[in-house]
Every structure is written in structure tokens, then in C-alpha cells.
Amino acid sequence: MNGYTTKEVAELVGLNTDQVRHYVRRKLILPARGLRGEYLFSFQDVVLVKTAKGLLNASVSTRKAYRALEKLKQQLEQAKSLSAMRIYADGSTVVVRDKRQTWEVETGQAKFDFSEVSRADVVAGIAKIAEKHVRDLLVTHQLTGQDLDANEWYNLGLNLEEVDPENAPRAYQEAIRLDPKNADAQVNLGRLYQLNGDLERAKQHYELALETRSEHQLAFYNLGTLYDELDQIDRAMEYYTLASAVPDAHYNLARILELRGDEVSALRHLMQYRELRGAQPDENT
């Protein structure tokens, strides 16, 4: 399984399934689709839905909550550990804390006083579901005496990222050993190396993914973030431009271009980012 079902998300967050689908219709989250067309939600999707519910319960306006959550997506995608982050509603302000600092989502300003809304219940609940996915997969193959194939090792890697991240690379490595053309496993393995600071190995895996799928959008985007991290901004822009289907590539291009004083081009990419992410919902609907 590549994600969490609508029913599982509803149980984790404390909503009904129609309310979960509401956030999909609003394009706050963009879940993947399973083989039968069902929604499959990522760990980040669940965190965002839980956060949205908490902010609205704390009387943060719908418009303000959604605007803050759009910005929060960027920060969650770049975080090394979502489980180490805490998200708060401090009055009408959305605040995030990690191990190093606390800041307001919308302004990026440092923040010191806050009222906590813990994310620990989300992390614990998702860990239980991921553990069940891993256990079910392994038990099934133990009973049948079959070895896992490349796709099953890949799916195991996805779940291990949430419950046993140290062993997730091995699952992706097995997927690649069985199918060297598994570009998604190459990208995910590269991302894990990048998060751990091994940029050279990350780069190798992104490039191997592109050898198999020359237009792999996440490989382009991740290479952009890698060069961004190295302050090789021109190379980063090249790869962000190639990742034209990834909304955050346009967001990062807008950021760089604005810093360089090209406000017209920055605005164009920001508009493309918003188009790909979906229109901002109205406060009263």
C-alpha cells in the first residue's frame, strides 16, 4: 500500500470520511490514487488535515488557516522529521516549532510564546497503521513462501520511512536490485541520502532515475533542491525549470527571481505555482 486510506485518515484525525474528502475538493491536499481509483494519503497529507481541523477549531478564519497551510506545505516538505515538529494556533496566528526554533508560518518571524496543540497523536496513529502495513506484507509472504518483488520492496520502503526510517534505504536498495529501472525507488533513496546530508550519493540516485525516466519530475525537482542547498543557484534554477509539473519548483523559482530583482518573472512563476496547487478557497464557503 502506498498510503493511508480515507477511512484510516478519518479515524486518525477525528473526522468523517466526507469531511476528509472536503479537504481534497478544496485542494488543500492532493492524494495519490490506488489501482481502483481510491485516495491514498501521505503522512504529510494527514498532518495537514489534522492541523487544518485544529486551526478551525481554534477559531482561526478559514481563509487565514488555508493561507497558512499552503505556506506550511513548503516547510513540511523540507523538514527532516515531521514527528519532531509542533504546530500551534496562538490566537489567530499559526505557529510552528521544531528542535531549533519557533516561528510564525505566514511571516517567518521568530515566536516565543504559544499554546500547544500536539502532533504526537497523529504521529503515533500513523506509525501504528504503517506498522500494520509492514506486518501484513511480511506475514503474507512468510505464509506463501514467496520473496518480495521490486514493487513490494518499494512499498515496504514507503512504510518503513514512517516507522523504521533507518531501514527504509535497504528496502529501496532491494527494489533497485530487483529492478534497476525503478526510478521512483532511486528518487526516494536519493531523498533519504539528501536528508541525511549525503548530497553526493543523493545526486547519483537522482541521475540514475533520470537515466531510466528522462522526464522524471521529482528527480528534476530534488536535484534543484540539492543545488539550492549547495548555493549553486544557477544549476538549481535549471532543474527547477525542468520540473515544470511540480508546484514547488515554481515557488522556489519565484523566490530566487524575487531575490534577484526580477519581479515580473517571479510573479509569473508564483501564478503557475498557485494554478498547479489550486485556487485559494473563499473564507465563507
Residue 267 lies in a domain: no
Question: 2-51 pLDDT, tens per residue?
Answer: 578 888 888 877 888 888 888 788 777 788 887 777 888 877 778 778 77
According to the per-residue pLDDT averaged within each range, which of 52-56, 90-94, 102-106 is highest?
Answer: 52-56
270, three cell numbers? 508564483
Q: Which residues contact 74 (CB under 8 A, 6 or more apart)?
A: 248, 251
User: In sequence order, what are the residues at sequence separation of 6 or more whose Cβ sits closer than 8 angstroms to the Cβ of residue 35?
Assistant: none
Which range of 112-116, 143-147, 159-163, 210-214 scores highest in mean pLDDT? It is 210-214
- Output the pTM of the full model: 0.58
- 25: Cβ–Cβ under 8 A, 6 or more apart, which residues? none
Q: Is position 71 within any domain?
A: yes
pLDDT over threshold 60, residue 79: no
Over range 194-200, report the average pLDDT. Answer: 91
135 has pLDDT over 90:
no
Percentage of the chain exceeding pLDDT 70: 64
Share of the chain above pLDDT 90, in %: 32
Pairing of strands 102-104, 93-97: antiparallel
Give me the domain span that covers residue 90.
Answer: 6-122
pLDDT reported for residue 274:
84
pLDDT digits (tens, 9 = 90+) for 30-44: 888 877 778 888 777
Number of domains in the chain: 1
pLDDT of 198 reads 93
Is 67 among the domain residues?
Answer: yes
Is residue 72 a part of any domain in this protein? yes
Of 152-166, 200-214, 260-274, which gets the smallest average pLDDT?
Answer: 152-166
The C-alpha atoms of residue 218 and residue 20 are separated, in whole angstroms, by 26
95 bridge partner residues: 88, 104
**Dihedral sign, Cα of residue 88, residue 90, residue 91, residue 92:** negative
One-letter amino acid of 72: L
Is 188 among the domain residues?
A: no
* 3, 39, 247, 258 from 29: Cα distances, Å: 13, 11, 13, 27
Indicate whether 183 belongs to any domain: no
User: Does any domain span residue 91?
Assistant: yes
Query: What's the whole-number mean pLDDT along residues 111-137?
Result: 55
pLDDT band at 100 (very low <50, low <70, confident <90, very high): low
The CATH number given to whatever domain includes residue 15 is 1.10.1660.10
The answer to whether position 264 is within a domain reads: no
Three state DSSP letters for the chain: CCCECHHHHHHHHCCCHHHHHHHHHCCCCCCEECCCCCEEECHHHHHHHHHHHHHHHCCCCHHHHHHHHHHHHHHHHHCCCHHHCEEEEECCEEEEECCCCEEECCCCCECCCCCCCCCHHHHHHHHHHHHHHHHHHHHHHHHHCCCCCHHHHHHHHHHHHHHCCCCHHHHHHHHHHHCCCCHHHHHHHHHHHHHCCCHHHHHHHHHHHHHHCCCCHHHHHHHHHHHHHCCCHHHHHHHHHHCCCCHHHHHHHHHHHHHCCCHHHHHHHHHHHHHHHCCCCCCCC
